[in-house]
Chains A and B, each alone.
Chain A
Amino acid sequence: MITFDRVSKRYGRVTAVGELSLEVASGEIVVLAGPSGCGKTTSLTMINRLIEPTSGAISIDGRDTATMDVNALRRSIGYVIQQVGLFPHQTVAENIATVPRLARWSRRRVAGRVEELLELVGLPPGDYAQRLPAELSGGERQRVGVARALGADPDILLMDEPFGAIDPVVRVRLQNELLRLQKVLHKTIVFVTHDIDEAVRIGDRVALLSQGGVLEQYARPVELLAHPASAFVAEFLGEGRMVRRLALLRVRDARLAQPNGSGLPTVSVRADASLRDALDAILRADGGRVTVRDVDTVLGVIDSESIREASR
Chain B
Amino acid sequence: MSIITYIVDNWGTLGPQVTTHIEIVAMSMAAAALIGLILGVFAARSERFSTLILGVTSTLLTVPSFALFGLLSIWAGLGNPPVIIGLILYALLPVVRNTSTGIRAVDPAVTEAARGMGMRPSQVLARVELPLAAPAILGGLRQATVMVVAIATVGATVGADDLGQPILEALGRSSGTLVQVLAGVIPVAAIGLVADGVLAGVQRVLSRGAARGAVG
B112 at the A interface (CB under 8 A):
yes
Of all chain A residues, which has the CB nearest B123? A102
Complex Cα spacing A2 to B132, Å: 35
Interface size class of B (residues with CB under 8 A): 20 to 34
Complex Cα spacing A149 to B119, Å: 13
B216 at the A interface (CB under 8 A):
yes
Interface size class of A (residues with CB under 8 A): 20 to 34
Q: Which residues of B contact A73 (CB under 8 A)?
A: 118
Q: CB < 8 Å: which of A81, A102, A133 contacts B213?
A: A133
Q: Which residues of B contact A102 (CB under 8 A)?
A: 117-119, 123
Q: Which residues of A contact B204 (CB under 8 A)?
A: none
A85 pairs with B110, CB closer than 8 A: yes
Q: Which residues of B contact A250 (CB under 8 A)?
A: none
Instruction: Tell me how far the C-beta of A117 lies from the nearest C-beta in chain B, rounded to whole angstroms.
Output: 14
B191 at the A interface (CB under 8 A):
no
B210 at the A interface (CB under 8 A):
yes
A54 at the B interface (CB under 8 A):
no
B179 at the A interface (CB under 8 A):
no
Q: CB < 8 Å: which of B111, B112, B209 contacts A89?
A: B209
Q: CB < 8 Å: which of A86, A89, A98, A145 contacts B131?
A: A89
Instruction: Tell me how far the C-beta of B210 lies from the nearest C-beta in chain A, rounded to whole angstroms.
Output: 5
Complex Cα spacing A227 to B22, Å: 80
Of all chain A residues, which has the CB nearest B208? A89
Contact with A along B78-120 (1 / 0, CB 8 A): 0000000000000000000000000000010111111111111
Contact with B along A144-161 (1 / 0, CB 8 A): 010011010000000000
Residues on A lying within 8 angstroms of B by beta carbon are 45, 48, 50, 70-75, 79, 81, 83-90, 98-99, 102, 132-134, 141, 145, 148-149, 151
The contact sample of 21 A-B pairs, CB cut-off 8 A, is A48-B116, A72-B118, A74-B115, A75-B117, A79-B113, A79-B116, A84-B216, A85-B111, A85-B216, A86-B110, A86-B113, A87-B132, A88-B132, A88-B212, A90-B209, A98-B114, A98-B117, A132-B212, A132-B216, A134-B213, A145-B113
